[in-house]
Amino acid sequence: MALSLDKTRSPATADGSLAIQLCQELVRIPSVNPEDNPGTSEVGEKRCAAWLCDWIRMQFPGASSELQEVLPERPNIIARFPSDRPNKPRLLLAPHTDTVSVVGMSIDPFGGELREGRVWGRGASDTKGPMSAMLAGLHAARDILPHLTHEVWFAGLAGEEAGQHGAHALAAKERFDLVIAGEPTELNFVHTHKGSMFLTLSTTGIAVHAANPRLGRNAIHPMLDVLAHIRDHIEPWLQGFTHPILGPSTISVGTITGGSKTNVVPDFCRATIDVRTIPSQTADFEAELFARLRAIHPELEIKVAKADPLYTDPNHPVLQKLQTLGSKPVGAPWFCDAAAFARQGSAAIALGPGSIAQAHTKDEWIATDDLIAGAEFFHKLLGSLAG
């Protein structure tokens, strides 16, 4: 355990240097999501989760801290802090431990270098920086945690960047009065965000020599018809689904692949589509979208991976406290783990220091001033729940 602290009484303000040290330490532990092209063999969340589990046990006497496997070698870390009475409402601080790929990075992704008033590396912004601010705030408030109006939990969630596996696993087991998903939101709270539908469209044909194309069936041709329909008709249709904060639902064609060789009539074609949804679009919308696509090509195969949109009433009592601390309710075009908990009935938001503009970049960083401000913010939030 490279980072240790004494256990004196909680200070009046959070220790910003602790947030910086934690961010550096966590960035140096690779936890790249293994899906798609991670760009490293050091994938998975287990090392990061185990480090957090040990650190919490050492720094918070009386807290329970354990790893809960979600996928092989990919656990959540779940911590529950002491409470002076049963049946309190529950508050969960829930950043995710995985990061996106390191392909194309221009800096050492796991260096955790401190320079120019920034911590650099993959995850510094999304979301090991927000996680570090949460932990530093919790550490500063550790003496008062048992006496708050809420029982406080912490979760480092696996798999947010692809599939939200950790969030779904925990949300299926536990209910919380409020979940704060750790994300770089400039300390405003995202109470509504778009969801996503990642579609994989497939068409099939019959491969023959391209010298006699009429003897086969070209799989690319019907896909071109489907994509033209998306451009000319589906996109305008989606403009009719709009939200006062998030704006309209959108659709974007991401990739298209097909065929094997220039002189072979292609027997397959695939396209991937990004659809961003708003909270009013339900399962009926999905059925209608699929029907409109298959009206162009009835044999079109459609596979979908979904993340839910989010809406939480900003008048929730704890969210009102956030506003007294200077945090503003905002919306976001991206999605996060908060929606997985909201789907199961828990009020949920996203909140943390730093900016989404630095997330997933080739030289990802978070400002040390933001880490310090984030630690102090979470300390004040916990303090506002005393009594």
Alpha helices in the chain (DSSP H): 16-27, 46-59, 128-140, 165-173, 220-229, 235-238, 283-294, 317-324, 338-343, 368-384
pLDDT digits (tens, 9 = 90+) for 152-180: 999 999 999 999 999 999 999 999 999 99
For 39, half-sphere exposure in the C-beta direction (CA atoms, 13 angstrom radius) is 16
Task: Supply the range of the domain harboring residue 136.
Answer: 16-193+309-384
Does residue 10 form part of some domain?
no
Q: Can you give the pLDDT at residue 2? A: 55
* 8 Å CB contact between 250 and 276: yes
In the chain (387 residues long), the average pLDDT of successive 10-residue segments reads: 49 79 98 95 97 97 96 97 96 98 98 98 98 98 97 98 96 98 98 97 98 97 98 97 96 97 98 96 92 98 95 96 97 96 97 97 98 97 92
Same domain as 173, residue 275: no
* 143 and 46 in a common domain: yes
At 366-377, the pLDDT tens digits run 999 999 999 999
Residues 284 and 328 in one domain: no
| pLDDT given for residue 266 in this prediction | 98
The C-alpha angle with vertex 187 and arms to 184 and 189, in degrees rounded to 5, equals 90
The pLDDT score that the predictor gives to residue 6 is 45
Of 265, 292, 307, the last residue of a domain is 307
Distance CA(142)–CA(144), nearest Å, equals: 6
Determine if the pTM surpasses 0.95: no
Q: Name residue, tokens 């990739």.
A: 255
Q: Are 263 and 335 in the same domain?
A: no
Q: What is the number of domains present in the chain?
A: 2
Q: What is the CATH number of the domain that holds 70?
A: 3.40.630.10
**How high is the pLDDT of residue 283?**
80
Q: Residue 122 has what pLDDT?
A: 98
